[in-house]
């Protein structure tokens, strides 16, 4: 089984990866979390910065996740800067309320939003793979649910049920259809295909 060191200090991501990879790829915690300056302008650049930092330090294959929430009517905030939105607020519940407040200032503003996840698998400086997943939805008008993390309580994903439930109320749905789940599914398809090809070589 392929093994990667998780280039992340976010325990919620680690928990989700455990479920998402469940026995197909092994993702291990690093002995120590590194402080990586996320100076990139894109999710891909930041994912690469994190994966490379862990690879360079620990000399083993690393997996990084750079993710965030893009709110269409607020292009100057969140996005790749999602982890740094409203730094004066320690709690994500307060960051969520602040975001709702910004959208409420103009009721005509679109509440369309999407989460992005870019995974960077850094096997060596010559072998680096990226996978992206997205999930579309709307920013709700209040916080709902106590599962998940970050902006989950205010994100209402597009679903056939159309019942207004947030990602924080839908852990099982999130595990199959989230930005992170989709990026993981793409990576598993890719690694399975590349392993199948290796086995087929004469």
* The binder of ligand ITT chosen from 5, 71, 82, 169 (CB under 6 A): 82
Name which of 22 and 194 has its Cβ closer to ligand ITT.
Answer: 22
Selecting among 56, 65, 66, 126, the annotated active-site residue is: 66
Interface residue with ligand ITT among 48, 66, 131, 140 (CB under 6 A) is 66
β-bridge pairing 62-71 and 26-29: unpaired
Taken as a whole, the chain contains a residue count of: 202
Is residue 9 a contact point for ligand ITT (CB under 6 A)? Answer: yes
Query: Applying CB under 6 A, which part among 17-25, 53-61, 66-74, 193-201 lies near ligand ITT?
Result: 66-74
Residue 66 catalytic? yes
Per CB under 6 A, the list member of 48, 65, 154, 187 interacting with ligand ITT is 65
Task: Give 3's contacts (C-beta < 8 A, 6+ positions apart).
Answer: 25, 26, 27, 28, 60, 61
Piece of the chain touching ligand ITT by CB under 6 A; list 61-69, 101-109, 123-131, 156-164: 61-69
CA distance 92 to 97: 9
Rounded CA separation 69/57 (Å): 29
Question: Does 169 sit near ligand ITT (CB under 6 A)?
Answer: no
The two three-digit tokens of residue 187, written as one number: 């990576």
Contact 42, 52 (CB under 8 A): no
Closest CA to 109 of 99, 119, 122: 99
SS3 state at 117: strand
Shortest distance in whole angstroms from residue 29 CB to ligand ITT: 12
CB of 56 or CB of 193, closer to ligand ITT: 56
Catalytic center residues: 66
């Amino acid at each position: 089984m392929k093994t990667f060191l998780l280039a992340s200090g976010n325990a919620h991501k680690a928990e989700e990866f455990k479920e998402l990879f469940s026995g197909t790829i092994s993702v291990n915690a690093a002995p120590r979390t590194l402080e990586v300056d996320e100076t990139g302008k894109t999710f891909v650049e930041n994912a690469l910065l994190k994966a490379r930092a862990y690879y360079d330090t620990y000399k083993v294959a690393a997996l990084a996740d750079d993710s965030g929430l893009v709110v269409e009517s607020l292009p100057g905030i969140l996005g790749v800067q999602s982890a740094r939105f409203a730094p004066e607020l320690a709690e994500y519940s307060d960051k969520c309320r602040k975001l709702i407040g910004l959208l409420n200032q103009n009721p005509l503003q679109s509440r369309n939003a999407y989460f992005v996840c870019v995974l960077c698998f850094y096997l060596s400086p010559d072998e680096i793979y990226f996978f992206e997943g997205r999930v579309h939805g709307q920013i709700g008008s209040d916080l709902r649910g106590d599962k998940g993390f970050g902006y989950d309580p205010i994100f209402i994903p597009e679903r056939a049920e159309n019942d207004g439930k947030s990602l924080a109320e839908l852990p099982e749905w999130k595990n199959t259809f989230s930005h992170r789940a989709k990026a993981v599914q793409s990576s598993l398809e890719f690694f399975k295909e590349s392993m199948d090809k290796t086995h087929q070589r004469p």
